[in-house]
Amino acid sequence: MKRICFLLKVKSDRLEEYKERHKAVWPDMLAALSQAGWSNYSLFLREDGLLIGYVETPDFDRALSQMAATEVNARWQTEMADFFEGVPGRKADEQMVPLEEVFHLD
């Protein structure tokens, strides 16, 4: 199992709505994430919009591509696209670049 951490940036004027949306993630989205190998998935949001994502998965590229192939992910990404700063025309899940892990206490 690999530990993956990535950063995204939520627009400052959308922070509260972003948090509200994640209080009720669609059940079919949650199921798709699990089926695609996403486990122990967490999002952390700083008040300036910095979003830190953490997930454990055997193969992050495979987990991303499996999600990209689902209809529910296409709907979710379309609804959430306006929340993020970043590369215009690229969905948030296309901008998830893993950070290098330099230490883990285990």
Does residue 22 carry a catalytic annotation?
A: yes
Q: Which of 2, 19, 22, 46 is catalytic?
A: 22
> Amino acid identity, residue 83?
F
The values of phi and psi at residue 69, to 5°, are: -85, -5
Query: Catalytic residues, which ones?
Result: 22
